[in-house]
Structure 1
Amino acid sequence: MKTLNTKRWLGLSALLGSLLVVAGCSLAPTYTKPDVNAPAAFKETPQETALAPSEQGTWKTAQPSEQALRGEWWTVFNDPTLNDLEHQALEANQNLKAAAARVKESRAINQTARAGLFPTLDAGFGPTREKLSPASQFLPANANVPSQTLWRAEGSASYEVDLFGRVSDSVKAANADTEQSEALFRSVQLALQADVAQNYFNLRELDSESDVFTRTVTLREQALKLVQNRFNEGEISELDVAQARSELATAKSDAMTVQRLRAASEHGLAVLLGKAASQFSMAANPLTPVEIKIPPGLPSSLLERRPDIAAAERTMAAANSRIGVAKAAFFPSLNITGSGGFESATLGDLFNWSSRTFLLGPFAGTALNLPIFDGGRRKGNLANARAIYEEDVANYRQQVLVAFQEVEDNLSDLRILEDQTRTQAEAVSASNRAAQLSRSQYTEGAVNYLDVIDAERTVLQSQRAAVQLAGVQATSTVNLIRALGGGWGDMPAAPATPLPAASDASVASR
């Protein structure tokens, strides 16, 4: 008998030892970032900001750096009003506050997942009233078993051994989800900063257009006076007067259209700042052309700077860990529970040493559970986890391609806009000269008033086009900075709106 007990003990010890060996071993596939076939340099990189020959073709492994401070990039525009608006938006924008709340949600879920690494402890106190059946006490069927009150003061503990890495993989997935939510917060923050800058430059562009129309209306009024005087002197017909009045009214109407667009733009900017439209107004200030050169750097570094790419990569990492969780479901799980304390029939005897009690073993839930048949549920869960990972890989690669496209689009826009702006400036100068000549010739009677109207319309169109190009150039510069992740080169970092403070548990998990 002693030999038999020894063999059982050795067998149990061997089983427990093997379980301890596999405890914490992850079944998740080894995580590696997929190749994205990034180019060595951007095709549209301007020559003056191109990489040095020694840097061309350089590649380094990209690491998500969405937590890195990117600095107050909008200060490169050297506009105090824009600086103030950006700070107001970071403090009060409601979309940014909602993104910060989502970070807190993710950290709370992460803390819940981490709790699985530790045992749970509970304590209880109170009486129970019970009546046992005669059969449970091995008594005759007609035996009278009196009911009784039992007082209990007990503590219980339970713990799931991390066999095959089910718990640790769940924690890894939760950590990656938290990092994803933080990267998405940075993405929302960057989008807000860019939207404020774009809306601001759009507002100033409309101020420039309004200034053009103000000067145009003044010229139209002067022209109407001139034509009216010539009509009063009998030099021209009433047709010229009617045409002059029509041009003046049209210019005033177009000016009102610009004012309407400006009001809507101002209201949109107020919302970005977290204010009611009725509580915000901005004085008119025509746009000054933006001529800032932004060096895009290496395409590989884009994978580090873009918070949306970092978020897609963390989503992929979380999905990879959940494959391990789905695999672990095919293997045994070990849950250890037990309770101990005091139990007595009277409250006065409850805490006597003789009233102590404990319960361990299968009746308390200690069990090594081996799944045998579930109708294909675990197989379906594993297939689903793998498919989600494949989807996240495709989404990550697509996000990288879109990022490269956005950079190339804005680089090409700025390159072409530089030449187009110069060309349009020449058109404005030429149209002004043509209008001046046509007015002089009309005064001398060499041309009719329709020629003057055509010349002045051309001036207005060319001036508006020049102003609009300046606005497009400013917003394209902002778009390029946004596409690059909000920073570039060795620009000094400055504190921006911080993420919500992480709890001790979430900090320890990273």
Structure 2
Amino acid sequence: MQTSLRRNAKVSSLLVLLMILAGCAVGPTYHRPDVTTPAHYKEAPQQQELAPHEAGAWQTANPAEAALRGEWWKLFNDETLNALEQEAHQANYSLQAAAARLKQARALLGDARSALFPTVEVGAGPTRQRQSPASQGLDDGASTTPVTLWRAQASVSYEADLFGRVSSTVDAARADAEHSEALYRSVLLALQADVAQAYFQVRELDAGLQLYRQTVGLREQTLQLIQRRYDAGDISELDLARAQSELDSARAETLAFERRRTTAEHALAILLGKAPSEFSLPEQPLTRIAVNIPAGLPSSLLERRPDIAAAERAMAAANARIGAAQAAFFPRLSLTGAAGFESSELGNLFEWSTRTFLLGPLVGAALSLPIFDGGRRQAGLDRARAVYEEDVANYRQTVLTAFREVEDNLANLRLLSQQMSAQDAALNASARAARISHVQYNEGSISYLDVIEADRTVLAQQRVAVQLDGERARSAVSLIRALGGGWDMPVPLAAK
């Protein structure tokens, strides 16, 4: 009885010791590095808080990387754009590849977690063996009889996580999975922005096509008038040639816009996961888009941007791998056991008398500590620390780049607004000058060359106005992308 109590006490003491050692994890505690965050954006308007009707359908929300990006493109109130975004979410192959990478990372996390639990295996089968005379204490020349041994047994193996090697590996795998998820969201946000910008590019070209087709129509009418005046002998052939030249030039520009529009439509088709031959977008000229997008505070950008979250999770994974590298300097305890049946005949295999068990390492020692490895463990630790330092630098650079992108797009929208106001004034003035030149030409006070120059100026101003409208729409998309997108978009099934 006392022997049994002493044995139980020793086992209990061993379990307590193992539990204490398991809590002795080594490795640095992770803290997100500090970064310099400005109090406000230099290029943002002074009034940051806008009413819902002033901000449109998109507003900043409480920052949190865990929150999901929403359907921010609905801000533009364009049903065609809404449909294209949904198509891209379902069919874009780059997004599907990112979802597959996320699945891989989550599978690796499951693989790492499995090391926290024992491994149980079962097996059965015969072995044929002839032992040497020396192994049985006989002379070298003695003869032995080969025997057949039938086995059916279950084996258990488990590595006690004494110094946190396994848990550090799991932490690293978990951070890697979160890193892949953030990268997936970054690809998703980039896809949303690319579709919107490609769509507005096509619409801008549609507006240019409409402008030049109208110009071609007007110049055809002008050529007819010039032809009649020439036939009547009122003007020279020079004016007729100039009118024909302007018409042909407008037709050439129309074809140039059609060529560029075709290329832009093909690029949009690829984003939707379609061959260019399978996609056609009806012409719809771009109209002026006026939206106000509140930028929020710079500090919120650290939690809104998926690329910043990805860089931060990469740091966390690298920090955890430092712990795993440090744990290699400490002992490893492997516990193994096996139990089952062994018999010389298959018919007797499962009889009670043939039972067998083994406690302890099957191969090697239960507790192992490498003494000399030529610097391999130290090199592994040095590498893990260097990787962490690299990821810290990448994280801080990513934050700086994010601040620059927001400032750039805020400045673009602010200056574009001013530029468009000046451009509208220039367009109105050139249109008035063109009307006056036509009147004066009809009165014979100026030459047709002055009329051509006035018309060219109007066309150039109209073309710049169309380009500014497209640039403003794309800059609005770029700002939303730089701010991290919206907040209420569910994760596609492919990423779960």
Partner of 2:434: 435
Q: Give the drift of 1:127.
A: 0.6
**Secondary structure of residue in 2 paired with 1:262:** helix
Q: Are 2:264 and 1:265 aligned? A: yes
The correspondence for 1:497, drawn from 473, 492, 496, is 492
Is the Cα contact below 8 Å between 1:24 and 1:168 reproduced in 2? no
| Partner Cα separation in structure 2 for residue 300 and residue 456 of structure 1 | 51
Distance 2:82 2:27 in 1: 47
Change (3 A) 1:481 1:115: same
**1:349 maps onto 2:344 in alignment:** no
- Measure how far apart 1:357 and its partner are: 1.2
Q: Which runs of 5+ in 2 are unaligned?
A: 1-5, 52-61
Q: Call closer, same or farther: CA 1:498–1:38 in 2, change over 3 Å.
A: farther
Are 2:402 and 1:407 aligned?
no
Pairing 1:5-84 to 2, within 5 Å after superposition: 17-49=16-48, 65-84=64-83
Query: How has the CA–CA distance of structure 1 residues 446 and 51 changed in structure 2, closer, same or farther, with 3 Å as cutoff?
Result: closer
Question: 8 Å contact 1:338–1:366 — kept in the other structure?
Answer: no
Larger mean CA deviation between 66-75 and 82-91 belongs to 66-75
CA change 1:498–1:476 in 2 (3 A) is: farther
Contact 1:336 1:365 in 2 (8 A): no
Native 8 Å contact 2:335 2:361 kept in 1:
no
Q: Residue type of the partner of 2:379?
A: G
Name the amino acid aligned to 1:305: R
The amino acid that maps onto 1:406 is E
Question: Residues of 1 paired with 2:139 and 2:473: CA distance?
Answer: 96
Q: Does 313-322 or 429-438 show the bigger shift?
A: 429-438
| Distance across 2 between alignment mates of 1:495 and 1:20 | 42
Residues 27-54 of structure 1: per-residue CA shift (max 9 Å, x gap)? 22111111111011111111343699xx
Return the offset for 1:11: 9.8
1:112-134 per-position Cα deviation (integer Å, ceiling 9, x unaligned): 00000001011111110010000
- Per-residue deviation, residues 308-329 of structure 1 (Å, max 9, x unmatched): 1111110100000000000000
CA distance in 2, matches of 1:322, 1:105: 19
Q: CA RMSD in A?
A: 2.3
* TM-score, normalised by the number of residues in structure 2: 0.93
1:250-309 C-alpha deviation (Å, 9 max, x unpaired) = 111111111111111111111111111111111111111111100011111111111111
* Structure 2 SS opposite 1:428: helix
Question: Taking structure 1 as the reference length, what is the TM-score of the superposition?
Answer: 0.91
Corresponding residue of 2:465: 466
In the other structure, the counterpart of 2:332 is: 333
Could you say if the C-alpha distance between residues 46 and 64 of structure 1 is closer, same or farther in structure 2, counting changes exceeding 3 Å?
closer
What is aligned with 1:448?
A: 447
Residue 235 of structure 1 deviates from its aligned partner by 2.3
How far off its partner does 1:71 sit? 2.0
Instruction: Specify the code of the residue in structure 2 equivalent to 1:500.
Output: A
Query: Where do 1:85-484 residues align within 5 Å?
Result: 85-484=84-483
For the 8 Å contact 2:63–2:300, the answer to whether it is kept is no
The whole-number CA distance in structure 2 between the counterparts of 1:173 and 1:49 is 39
In structure 2, distance between residues paired with 1:243 and 1:51: 53
User: Can you list the C-alpha shifts for 1:318-343, whole angstroms capped at 9, x where unaligned?
Assistant: 00000000000011111111212111
Preserved CA contact (<8 Å) 2:336 2:362? no
Match of 1:55? none
Distance in 2 (alpha carbons) for counterparts of 1:284 and 1:64: 39
Kindly indicate whether the alpha-carbon contact (under 8 Å) linking 1:71 and 1:496 is maintained by their aligned counterparts in 2: no
Report what 1:56 is aligned to: none
TM-fit CA distance, 1:190: 0.6
The DSSP-based 3-state class of the residue aligned with 2:492 is coil
Cα distance in 1 for partners of 2:29, 2:480 equals 35
- Residue identity opposite 2:166 in structure 1: V
Alpha-carbon spacing, 1:366–1:65, altered in 2? closer, same or farther (3 Å) = farther
Kindly tell me: are residues 13 and 494 of structure 1, through their superposed partners in 2, closer, same or farther at Cα, counting changes over 3 Å? Answer: closer
Distance 1:377 1:13, change over 3 A: farther
Secondary structure of the 2:289 match is: coil
Residues 215-270 of structure 1, C-alpha deviation per residue, up to 9 Å, x if partnerless?
Answer: 11111112211222222222222222222111111111111111111111111111
Contact 2:172 2:321 in 1 (8 A): yes
Separation (CA, whole Å) in 2 of partners of 1:294 and 1:314? 29
Q: Which amino acid aligns with 1:105?
A: Q
Secondary structure of residue in 2 paired with 1:154: strand
Deviation at 1:386, TM superposition (A): 0.3
Counterpart-to-counterpart distance in 1, 2:347 and 2:8: 41
In structure 2, distance between residues paired with 1:47 and 1:361: 72
Q: Distance in 2 between matches of 1:108 and 1:346?
A: 43
Moved more, 236-245 or 139-148: 236-245
Task: Tell me how far 1:20 sits from its aligned partner.
Answer: 3.2
How far residue 14 of structure 1 moved from its aligned partner, in angstroms, is 7.0
Matched-pair contact (CA < 8 Å) for 1:338–1:364: no
Distance 1:315 1:481 in 2: 24
Residue number in structure 1 paired with 2:56:
none
Give, as a single letter, the amino acid of the residue that structure 2 aligns with 1:338.
Answer: G
**SS across alignment from 2:348:** coil
Q: How far did 1:93 drift?
A: 1.0
Q: 1:145 to 1:494 in 2, by over 3 A?
A: closer
For residues 128-178 of structure 1, the C-alpha deviation after alignment (integer angstroms, 9 at most, x for no partner) is 001000011001122110111110001111100101100000000000100
1:506 corresponds to: none
Structure 1 residues 83 and 90, CA, compared in 2 at 3 Å: closer, same or farther?
A: same
Structure 2 CA distance, aligned partners of 1:454 and 1:290? 31
Larger mean CA deviation between 39-48 and 117-126 belongs to 39-48
* Cα shift readout 1:46-102 (whole Å, capped 9, x = no counterpart): 1343699xxxxxxxxxx9833312321111111111111111111111111111111
CA distance in 1, matches of 2:28, 2:304: 27
